Amino acid sequence: MHCVITPPVFQPLAQVYLLLGAGAAYGALRKPGEDEVAFTEKLLLDVLLPAVILSSIRARLLETGDLRAFALTLLGAATSILVLSAAAAARFTREEALTAMYANTGYIPLGIAQALWGEAGVSAVGFYVAGNNLTANLLAPVVLGGRGLREGLRRAALFPPLYGLLTGAALGLARLPLPTWAEGFLHSLASAAAPLAMIVVGIEFSRTWGKLDPRDLKPYALRLLVAVPLAALLVVPGALKGVDARVALLESVMPSAASCVPVARRLSLDTAKVSRVVFVTTLVSTTISAPLMLALLGQ
């Protein structure tokens, strides 16, 4: 890995910023309501993100048959568990624990990985999302909401990207070809996911702008303290290599997920606090942490 920064390297990141800016401008001008934003986020989570994961994971396993990428799934799950444990030890509030554990491992890194590393980057993000977000959906209602394990299992079972992972893995390992029309359909859905995700994050920016509070960075600081060394433990010895290593490190600096807000609402948490944390961590991650990590990776 080389620490070389050249302007062309950051052109893909500039595309991400342009999409974020377009979303922020749209949100400021049109001021979409909570229901409108929630619908778009649900479309991404239920349809587009599963399509990305299915098609990219299937393509990777079909081409290589290499199961080592599932190390990213285990890394994502372990990160959620360890961050939540650290939040409990530090006596974080439930809102802080949720936003530390449940990171934006799909929308933002998907756009960056697709621009920088193509389908290999997309598939690596898919493997990581499945572990991190599935575990967060399982743990949140049980640990933070006082619900039973059944509720956690129900949320995990209803997490759409899980089915994208399982279907993509099954098709890839079985070496099953898809009809041309099905390949084209999946590609169309997958190609729409990254830009729409960036625009949605930009809209969320516009809805929470002006609510900057440095104290809301505490969950993100904890996540960095846990996630970055944990990813490095796999990358430095070579357990993860190439694009997988880069995605693992990129994921380690991701902010709180916008999905934390509807989760907080279901668990009767302070959604205003959660929204502020999502905003400030996304701002710091996209302007400081992610560019710095990409510079360190020489990307």
pLDDT tens-digit series, residues 186-234? 888 888 887 887 788 788 777 766 666 788 899 999 999 999 999 999 9
pLDDT value at position 8? 47
pLDDT at 86: 96
Handedness of CA 89, 91, 96, 98 (dihedral sign): positive
Could you say which residues of the chain have pLDDT below 70?
Answer: 1-13, 146-148, 152, 208-212, 299
CB 295 within 8 Å of CB 6: no
Predicted TM-score (pTM) of this structure: 0.81
Contact criterion met (CB below 8 Å) for 107 and 204: no
Q: What is the C-alpha separation between 59 and 53, in angstroms, rounded?
A: 10
User: DSSP letter at 240?
Assistant: S
Say which amino acid occupies 198. Answer: M
Question: Could you tell me how many residues make up the chain?
Answer: 299
Whether the CA torsion 179, 158, 48, 122 is positive or negative: it is negative
- In degrees and rounded to multiples of 5, residue 181 shows phi and psi of -65, -35
- The pair of structure tokens assigned to 134 is 């599935």
Residue 258 DSSP class: T
Looking at the DSSP assignment, which residues form a beta bridge with residue 256?
103
Q: How many helices, marked H, and strands, marked E, lie in the chain?
A: 14, 0
Dihedral sign of CA atoms 12, 251, 51, 266 in order? negative
CB 255 within 8 Å of CB 106:
no
| Residue 80 main-chain phi, psi, to 5 deg | -60, -45
Domain boundaries, the chain: 7-296
Look at residue 214 in the predicted model and tell me its pLDDT. 81
**Residues with Cβ < 8 Å from 50, sequence gap 6 or more?**
160, 161, 163, 164
Evaluate whether 98 touches 260 at the Cβ level (below 8 Å).
Answer: yes
CA 37 to chain centre: 18
Q: Please tell us whether the domain made up of 7-296 is placed in CATH 2.60.40.
A: no
> The tokens of 93 are what?
């509030």
Q: What is the pLDDT of residue 3?
A: 45
First vs last Cα of the chain: how many Å apart? Answer: 9
CB-CB contact of 51 with 186 (8 Å): yes
Cα 17 to Cα 23: distance, rounded to the nearest angstrom: 10
218/273 Cα distance (integer angstroms): 12
Q: Give Rg (Cα) of the chain.
A: 18
